[in-house]
């Protein structure tokens, strides 16, 4: 009888151990299975969303102001940002002064007028002879200042007109003391007039040997062609002086880069769809970023206003939720 009881108890203990062990093994497996299924579904949905991309027609792209560009090689530049202003080229500027004191009887030209060499600017009646004589433009250019009016007394003590040839202008840039050793005559510099157009490429033509007490800076000057009158004397400009440069195989504009879930992406277009491509970024400058993985040379991408595509992608994800 005792042996039967012992066998029964042993059997019960073994059965209990097996049941407990099976529960411990089955419960995590079930939980892990559910978790894995959710993760796989989320990953699948994300992949599907990426593969589908964001569909925008050419008309919608234009309406959104999205600029398209082609990934290609580019030159990355280490540069120095400088501030400055536009000045008339003093070597092509003339102050027109009356030869004899007298009264202005006629004014032919005003500020902003374009003149040819020999054009009459004004007529002055001499106080000495009481006969009129003409003030003429000594060169072709633009009247940028006038210090006389009809009936006014003028003399050789003060210029009556200033005429400047604005087909070239001076860009005077301020270089702070800490940067002077890095700036040299002949250095490449890109001038930004702040009008939304492309920067103007030129070179430093003159570096002042003296500095300014007030600003603790020295002047660096570039002589820039200005046939289209894009650069106007008196206006401020910014400039980037090239310190070094390196060519890279594939680059995109810096404005194309967006961050999605802590990943750097570029929206690449294929047909009417934009695909957010994960990218690896190499070196970069204010204009371009080197792409070492994710975008190939020749790919068309959203270079400007790409944040609109990021926003559209976010809307799609919210709708799916």
Local confidence band at 146 (pLDDT 50, 70, 90 cut-offs): very high
CA 244 to chain centre: 18
The pLDDT assigned to 29 comes to: 47
Local confidence band at 272 (pLDDT 50, 70, 90 cut-offs): confident
Residue 25 clears pLDDT 70, i.e. is over it: no
The pLDDT assigned to 14 comes to: 46
Contact between 273 and 282 under an 8 Å Cβ cutoff? The reply is no
The pLDDT assigned to 51 comes to: 47
Per DSSP, the residues of 240-294 read: EEEEEEEEEEEEEEGGG-EEETTEEEEEEEETTEEEEEE-EEEEE-SSEEEEEES
- The stretch 184-205 carries a mean pLDDT of 95
Residue 7 clears pLDDT 60, i.e. is over it: no
The pLDDT assigned to 226 comes to: 95
CA distance 56 to 115: 53
Residue 9 clears pLDDT 70, i.e. is over it: no
The pLDDT assigned to 20 comes to: 47
Mean pLDDT of the chain: 86
More confident of the two residues 319 and 89: 89
The pLDDT assigned to 122 comes to: 98
Task: Provide Rg for the chain, Cα atoms.
Answer: 37
- Domains of the chain and CATH, by start: 50-75+247-320 (2.40.420.20), 78-88+167-244 (2.40.30.170), 92-164 (2.40.50.100)
The pLDDT assigned to 18 comes to: 47
Local confidence band at 34 (pLDDT 50, 70, 90 cut-offs): very low
- The stretch 265-272 carries a mean pLDDT of 92
pTM for this predicted structure: 0.67
Using CB atoms within 10 Å of the CB of residue 148, give its burial: 0 to 12 exposed, 13 to 18 middle, 19+ buried. Answer: buried
Using left for φ > 0, alpha for ψ between -120 and 50, and beta otherwise, residue 72 falls in beta
- The stretch 125-143 carries a mean pLDDT of 96
Residue of 243, 224, 244 whose CA lies nearest to 235: 224
- The stretch 86-115 carries a mean pLDDT of 96
Q: What is the pLDDT of residues 203-231, one digit of tens each?
A: 999 999 999 999 999 999 999 999 999 99
Local confidence band at 5 (pLDDT 50, 70, 90 cut-offs): very low
CA distances in angstroms from 290 to 183, 258, 274, 280, 282, listed in the order given: 26, 14, 20, 8, 5
């Amino acid at each position: 009888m005792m042996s039967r009881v012992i066998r029964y108890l042993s059997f019960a203990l073994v059965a209990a151990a097996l049941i407990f062990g099976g529960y411990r093994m089955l419960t995590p497996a079930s939980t892990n299975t559910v978790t894995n299924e959710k993760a796989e579904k989320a990953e699948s949905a994300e992949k599907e969303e990426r593969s589908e991309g964001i569909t925008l027609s050419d008309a919608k792209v234009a309406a959104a102001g999205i600029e398209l560009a082609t990934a290609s090689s580019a030159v990355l530049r280490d540069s120095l940002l400088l501030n400055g202003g536009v000045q008339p080229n003093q070597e092509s500027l003339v102050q027109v002064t009356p030869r004899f004191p007298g009264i202005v009887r006629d004014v032919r030209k005003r500020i902003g007028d374009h003149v040819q060499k020999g054009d009459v600017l004004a007529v002055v009646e001499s106080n000495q002879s009481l006969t009129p004589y003409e003030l003429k433009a000594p060169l072709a250019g633009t009247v940028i200042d006038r210090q006389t009016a009809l009936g006014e007394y003028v003399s050789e003590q003060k210029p009556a007109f200033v005429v400047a040839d604005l087909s070239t202008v001076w860009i005077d840039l301020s270089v702070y003391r800490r940067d002077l050793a890095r700036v040299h005559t002949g250095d490449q510099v890109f001038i930004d007039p702040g009008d939304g157009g492309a920067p103007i490429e030129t070179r430093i033509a003159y570096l002042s040997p003296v500095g300014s007490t007030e600003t603790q800076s020295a002047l660096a000057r570039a002589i820039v062609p200005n046939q289209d009158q894009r650069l106007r004397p008196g206006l401020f400009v910014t400039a980037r002086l090239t310190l070094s440069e390196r060519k890279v195989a594939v680059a995109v504009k810096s404005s194309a880069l967006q961050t999605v879930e802590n990943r750097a992406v570029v929206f690449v277009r294929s047909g009417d769809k934009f695909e957010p491509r994960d990218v690896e970024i190499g070196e970069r400058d204010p204009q371009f970023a080197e792409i070492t993985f994710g975008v190939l040379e020749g790919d068309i991408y959203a270079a400007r206003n790409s944040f609109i595509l990021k926003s559209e992608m976010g809307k799609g994800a919210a709708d799916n939720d």
